[in-house]
Amino acid sequence: MPRRVNPRDLARMHEERTARWKNLVTSDPRRAVRALAVIGLNSESIDGDTLWDTQYVLQQLSPLAADPKSEVWKRLVNAGLFDALCFCVLNAQAAAIVEDETRVNQAQVDAEGKKLPSPWALSLQIICTATVSCETKMIEDLRKNWGQMMQRIWSQPFNSLDPDVKGVVERILVAQTAMRLTVLDPSFLGELSKPSDLTFAVCFRNWMHSIAREDALINAGFLLALLDHRHIPQYWKSYTDVNPLPPMKVLLPRILLGASKTPGPAQRKRTPQQAAEAIVAATVTHLTYPNAGLQEYELELAFLRSLFVHATTEYPALPRAMFKSPDLWAATALVLRRAAEAGTQDAEGTYLDALETFSRCTFAVNKEGNEFADAMIAGWLEGGLLEAFEDTVDFFVKIRGATSVFVVIMSAILQCSPKLSAKTQALLRTHLPRQRLSERLAEEFGHDGKDQTKYQADYAAFTASMQSGTLPDVDNPMWGQAAWETLDSVTELFQATELSPCSRSGCEKQVASGNEVKCVNCNVQYCSKQCFKRDFQEHKGACSDPKRRPPTAREILLRNHAARDGYFRRRFIAQSLIFVVIAIVLYYLLHGIYGLMGSS
């Protein structure tokens, strides 16, 4: 017969139970451990302890765990404490107690349940707190139970995903415990690396639901060590040098599994594209926290770039979601501004991280259809990239390596220009010219003719590096000249662009000047090679006498370059680097070389 529990009796006995268990956990550790193994409202231990005693034992263990080298704690461990705590993580449940004859509905029960910690949380928190002393028994017990514990937390997150302070604490626990265990015993990575283990998925899900710097940083930091070997902790290397982590084609899906379901009781399964969009949305949320600082920006962007690099081959839905996310580009442009506002040496690194996030995507967008290149460039513009460059240019010109990444970004716009829709081209024209940005770059990096010998040496070193198939040193001043030349070339190309109709009968597309396909004889223009081929027979009979072939894109840019006016252009342009730079940058873009400086 079910045991009847009077809530008033429980309340009346609270102080007595608290005092009793405060004494028992020190005087009779084995009884305390046995009390943790009671399951169900009608069960009791051989000592007569019930489920209602379990919470009192756990409450007394929490302060003791802070001193795991004490004799009391050692006796508890020897009595089987960690095995019992693992048992609680696996089996603990919440219970609602109501007065006799009181009727409650499920909604009321759920509302009360939301006020409580997740049933497994307190036990896991004690384990996490205590993992600072290398107890062989502790490691053995956790090794036996870890996989099942992660399965329970994965399938029953309870309140750990809620956007509140209680949720923040619970989202920290798994990553923090895993990191501490690998400090004590690096071979514990072997448990985490097992194909059935869900630690990485749990941590990634916790990162996606993070609402504060604490839960975002610890989960992203732990997972980044798995994604990028440059971030592997030194204390892992004694194990990973002999036992490498699983290959990324195995590891990445296990991490991204954390994005595979929606939160809530139903936990509906997401499609890969929905999961990718949720990942991008989480990044945007973290980058736009009101109190986010440089450390958060750097870690979030490094984490995103590492995911991106591997996802280009293993999970293409993620790069595509990034290309098409104006919110992501707006958030990254915001990081440029925040870094410039800080103005510190650390902020220079943050600024470069944001620049690298823009440039990194240019290496993969070429493998996708025109719609992705068009969406990416439009997202840059709508997100305020050019305005951010202009507003932060005084900070930007001081940063080592920034001009080389800027050249990649501007070159990507030039390279993508034939793929851009009329709408995006019009958007570009509304954002150009950036007079202050252009003049400030020219002022900072233009050659004044005073030291022609050094200029010639820099130019020779720059071109020699590129001709040998390597990118020049980021400290070469020629990157500065290339930066303002590429910006001006983008400006000239799109300011000169006008729309006109395709010449094929029945085609209503508008074609931008410079992007069209022309008849080499008469300069009649078409929107594409397909339209030209379809119209060839009809056009052949009507084609006028041959004329000079239409200028190439290179000739158009050279002609525009020669036609520049303005004080800075007349005085500073001694030699044009634009086409050499674009040629080598495009070579690297097409061959998938990631990053100019080897940063994450």
pLDDT tens-digit map of 433-449: 898 999 999 888 876 66
Quickly state the pLDDT bin for 510 (edges 50, 70, 90): low
Strand ranges (E), 357-516: 499-501, 510-512
Answer with the residue of higher pLDDT: 595 or 315: 315
CA distance 26 to 419: 73
| pLDDT at residue number 542 | 62
Q: Please compute the mean of the pLDDT values over residues 260-289 and round it to a whole number.
A: 93
CA distance 173 to 189: 17
Cα angle at 255 between 346 and 184, to 5 degrees? Answer: 70
| pLDDT at residue number 35 | 95
| pLDDT at residue number 598 | 41
Question: Three-state SS for 261?
Answer: strand
| pLDDT at residue number 93 | 83
With respect to residue 174, please indicate whether it lies within any of the assigned structural domains.
Answer: yes
DSSP assignment of 27-82: H-HHHHHHHTT--STT-B-TTS-BHHHHHHHHHHHHHHHT-TTSHHHHHHHHTTHH
Cis peptide before 246 (omega within 30 of 0): no
With respect to residue 359, please indicate whether it lies within any of the assigned structural domains.
Answer: no
Q: Which residues contact 379 (CB under 8 A, 6 or more apart)?
A: 323, 324, 325, 326, 328, 329, 330
Here the tokens at position 503 are 């010449």
**φ, ψ of residue 232 in degrees (nearest 5):** -65, 130
Here the tokens at position 221 are 């930091």
Quickly state the pLDDT bin for 107 (edges 50, 70, 90): confident
Strand ranges (E), 412-524: 499-501, 510-512, 517-518
Long-range contacts of residues 472-475, Cβ cutoff 8 Å, at least 24 apart: 472/404, 474/400, 474/401, 474/403, 474/404, 474/596, 474/597, 475/400
Average pLDDT over the chain, rounded to whole?
A: 84
Q: Give Dmax (Cα) for the chain.
A: 107
Domain membership of residue 241 as a residue range: 7-315
Residue 42 clears pLDDT 60, i.e. is over it: yes
Chain segment 141-182, per-residue pLDDT in tens: 999 999 999 999 999 999 999 999 999 999 999 999 999 999
| pLDDT at residue number 251 | 97
Q: How far is CA 430 from the centre of its chain?
A: 30
Q: How many other CB atoms sit within 10 Å of the CB of residue 157? A: 23
Query: Please, how many CA atoms are within 13 Å of residue 10, restricted to the half-sphere of its CB?
Result: 14
Q: How many domains does the chain have?
A: 1
With respect to residue 19, please indicate whether it lies within any of the assigned structural domains.
Answer: yes
Contact at 8 Å (CB) between 483 and 407? yes
| pLDDT at residue number 389 | 98
pTM to 2 decimal places: 0.83
CA distance 192 to 190: 5
Residue 364 clears pLDDT 60, i.e. is over it: yes
CATH code for the domain in which residue 59 is found: 1.25.10
Share of the chain above pLDDT 90, in %: 54
Instruction: Give the torsion sign (CA, 238, 144, 222, 215).
Output: negative
Residue 585 clears pLDDT 70, i.e. is over it: no
With respect to residue 279, please indicate whether it lies within any of the assigned structural domains.
Answer: yes
Q: Which residues contact 496 (CB under 8 A, 6 or more apart)?
A: 513, 514, 560
